[in-house]
Chains A and B, each alone.
Chain A
């Protein structure tokens, strides 16, 4: 069965078709999400993605199944990040990963450049905001460990992270209006 037929079957309530769809597409979706999220979050987002597929298969119009699936995954990732609060800083990374087409070099270059600009808005390397961002969101360390490494309290770490988020958000708002809808 091709993907279009599978999704149509899912829309009719066929859970075996959903299972088949999962077997086919979960690996690459997971890989793509893994590029922007830590492993545990990938699992949760992927689960929500396929539940959204189960519920929303009726709205699929035959065409690009892969694109449709990635669209759902991206939306779920964004929802997840929004709910999780502190991790929303990864949003630009999700936006960056969301090229119109996988492998569109211009879009990717643009996203990377925007991200680099946002990061540089955090101040010089080694500065408190940038260092906090690096430890917490690039290296995925928990608050307690970051606090220990930086020699400050957990509360200080959290307020520095908050400041870093503010700075990045402000920098990102200077992006082209067309991209704004894809993010927040």
Chain B
């Protein structure tokens, strides 16, 4: 198991962004679905060791990120793409990916080849020495993916990775995810249901800081059958059905 989360909570002031999440993830592609504000980003941030939890237990790659040494070890094996990624405009694509490869403590001798591989994997081979300020939003997102995968991470955390990508690029991206999912744990947070359907072996649906569904995409689809929930595709209907059920339960309780 690369990720073991037990009753994890994160509060900001009085808001509970993440309210007692428990899950486990081994190798494979794991989808994290949910509406905006569901707590997906905060959960991902905690797994990226960027945000400490308020309470609960977190084990990443068999280590406790609370300690300085283990946290550094985790970060060497981690790939993270935040939802908002700023870019220093004067860097080229290769500069940017190389910079973060070095900051991940990659041995310098391996860096150039790893950088080249990552840039080709995201399809930016003809833009490697182009300055970031000249790139479109979708290309910048792909640069972000490249820095996340450059160190062949065992744990890959991607927050809205397909934002700005056109359909063809999204297909290629899902292939990349599946490849990574064979050796590593890939957790993709997205509000695009079709991303999940195509690439993920497991799905968790979050709402208001809690996990309201955990299973395979097929199981989620099944929840939508015959429920009359909104949605154009079966998986979307499952998504809506589960959300509706979860919210009515909450309403009934309060």
Contact = CB atoms under 8 A, between A and B. Distances in A.
A15 B116 CA distance: 12
B142 to A, nearest CB: 16
A27 B125 CA distance: 18
Contacts of B43: none
Nearest to A15: B129
Nearest to B127: A16
B168 interface: no
A172 B197 CA distance: 66
B241 to A, nearest CB: 49
B128 interface: yes
Contacts of B125: 19
B166 interface: no
A19 B94 CA distance: 15
Interface string A5-49: 000000000011001000000000000000000000000000000
B232 interface: no
Nearest to A17: B126
A16 B126 CA distance: 5
Interface residues of B, number: 4
B97 to A, nearest CB: 15
A149 B126 CA distance: 50
Nearest to B125: A19
Nearest to B129: A15
A33 to B, nearest CB: 21
A19 B127 CA distance: 11
Contacts of B129: 15
Contacts of A19: 125-126
A16 B125 CA distance: 8
B96 to A, nearest CB: 16
B34 to A, nearest CB: 40
Contacts of A15: 128-129
A22 B160 CA distance: 34
A19 B129 CA distance: 12
Contacts of B128: 15
Interface in A82-126: none
A19 B125 CA distance: 8
A15 B129 CA distance: 8
A15 B125 CA distance: 9
Contacts of B126: 16, 19
Nearest to A16: B126
A22 to B, nearest CB: 10
A47 to B, nearest CB: 11
Nearest to B120: A19
Interface string B117-158: 000000001101100000000000000000000000000000
B156 to A, nearest CB: 27
Nearest to B94: A15
A10 to B, nearest CB: 13
A162 B129 CA distance: 47
Nearest to A23: B125
A16 B92 CA distance: 14
Q: Which 5 A-B pairs have the closest CB atoms?
A: A16-B126, A15-B129, A19-B125, A19-B126, A15-B128
5 contacts: A15-B128, A15-B129, A16-B126, A19-B125, A19-B126
